[in-house]
Amino acid sequence: MRDASRYHRLLWSATVLVALAACTAQPTPPPPAATPAQEASKASVHKEAFGSTADGAAVELYTLTNASGMEVRAMTYGGIIVSLRVPDRTGALGDVVLGYDSLDGYLKSSPYFGAIIGRYGNRIARGRFKLDGKEYKLAINNNPNALHGGRKGFDKVVWKAESFQDQRGVGVVFTYTSADGEEGYPGKLDAKVTYTLADDNSLRFEYQAVTDKPTPVNLTQHTYFNLAGDGSGDILAQELMMKASRFTPVDKTLIPTGELKSVEGTPFDFRTPTAIGARIEAKDEQITFGLGYDHNWVLDREPGGGMQLAARVHDPASGRVMEVTTTEPGLQFYSGNFLDGTLTGKGGHVYQHRAGLCLETQHYPDSPNKPDFPSTVLKPGEEYRSHTVYAFSVQKP
């Protein structure tokens, strides 16, 4: 009897436990919601080998594709943007940057096509500057000045790279350590440049650097754009707007005189959209010195810093528009004046005079010798940060 009742109690407890378990059991949970990046399943990053440099360093090519099909290919040699395919007003993708089909072209001869520029973008007069009482001498690679970081600037080194895909989009982080004394610059500089392609057809560049000795730093990007498409002729019919009431006039070696000159009444006034070719042959000393446009504009910035509109380019033929926003105070507009038909690029395209344009966000040229210009000196313990976005869209005729 006692055994029977124990048996019933056990049976009862077991039944209760099973019932309780049944009550508390949850239906199989649904899979976690996809992040926006995962939902944009068409976005992707792909890495492949892209040859090697003369000293045998392997170079890799990253292909970034966003959800709407815009595609950027960038390689570890110089962080060079090899191609950039964006839609025109009919939705057709076209490559809007100049360059070569293979690494060899870049190794042989390239006027900085698509590259990261550093340690100092643009010119330093006579390759000399003083910092904390000491004079530094750089290589003279643009007689009589130093240009774009020296003989082997950041455009000619192989960067380490790591790709990512997250809420921001798809991208690559390039890193490079420039040794103390490299190209004559003081201090070991750890540089990091992040390229991000977002689903809204914007391409973001984030530059960061730290140093162990005071050094001038001015990083930028030297992509040659032609919104009508690579190899489609010159950029003279394309319209440019630059949010700048002043520019930095230069001497005949393209070193700023130090003056911040009003653009009013000059061929340098792009405050309202104007065809690049409209005044490029004007009888103007500055145009003569630059062989066209090759100058730094002083951006009109609202107080408070941050990302602000710098420029807008519109190609009436394709409808493509590119908007440049930046944290930088200056913008070098170079109208491809040194292109002269001697370089044959992608798909056999011969790069004639003014076949592409550069809009290089930056601090002003020769700042290390111009105490009145915003300083470019980075000190130990500080972090250099600079952001620029090139956003692509289309405009109806």
Active site residues: 222, 360
Q: Does 147 bind ligand GLA (CB under 6 A)?
A: yes
**Which residue's CB is nearer to ligand GLA, number 83 or number 122?**
122
Site string for ligand GLA, 324-343 (x = CB under 6 A): --------x-x---x-----
**Which residue's CB is nearer to ligand GLA, number 67 or number 147?**
147
Is residue 182 classed as helix, strand or coil in its secondary structure? helix
Please tell me the count of residues contacting ligand GLA according to CB under 6 A.
10
Q: Does 355 bind ligand GLA (CB under 6 A)?
A: no
Min separation Cβ 163 and ligand GLA, Å:
28
Copy the structure tokens of residue 284. Answer: 């103007």
Site string for ligand GLA, 117-146 (x = CB under 6 A): -----x------------------------
CA angle 280, 148, 106 (to 5 degrees): 90
Q: Does 111 bind ligand GLA (CB under 6 A)?
A: yes
Q: Give the DSSP per-residue string, 352-372.
A: -TT--BEEEEESPTTGGG-TT
Is residue 251 classed as helix, strand or coil in its secondary structure? coil
Min separation Cβ 350 and ligand GLA, Å:
17
Min separation Cβ 332 and ligand GLA, Å:
5
Contact 43, 36 (CB under 8 A): no
Going from the C-alpha of 272 to that of each of 242, 276, 317, the distances in angstroms are 8, 12, 19
Min separation Cβ 363 and ligand GLA, Å:
14
Copy the structure tokens of residue 59. Answer: 């170079």
E-strand ranges in 91-201 read 93-95, 116-117, 123-124, 128-131, 134-137, 146-147, 160-166, 169-178, 189-197
Contact 113, 104 (CB under 8 A): no
**Which residue's CB is nearer to ligand GLA, number 62 or number 270?**
270
Q: Does 240 bind ligand GLA (CB under 6 A)?
A: no
Q: Where are the alpha helices (DSSP H) in the chain?
A: 2-24, 36-39, 103-108, 285-290
**Which residue's CB is nearer to ligand GLA, number 207 or number 334?**
334
Q: Backbone dihedral region of 121: left (phi > 0), alpha (psi from -120 to 50 degrees) or beta?
A: beta
Site string for ligand GLA, 291-310 (x = CB under 6 A): ---x----------------
Min separation Cβ 338 and ligand GLA, Å:
5
Contact 290, 325 (CB under 8 A): no
Is cis: bond before 316, omega within 30 of 0? no
Q: Does 239 bind ligand GLA (CB under 6 A)?
A: no
Site string for ligand GLA, 254-283 (x = CB under 6 A): x-----------------------------
- Count CB atoms within 10 A of the CB of residue 347: 10
**Which residue's CB is nearer to ligand GLA, number 146 or number 161?**
146
**Which residue's CB is nearer to ligand GLA, number 85 or number 354?**
354
Q: Does 225 bind ligand GLA (CB under 6 A)?
A: no
What is the contact surface with ligand GLA in residues (CB under 6 A)?
111-112, 122, 147, 254, 294, 332, 334, 338, 358
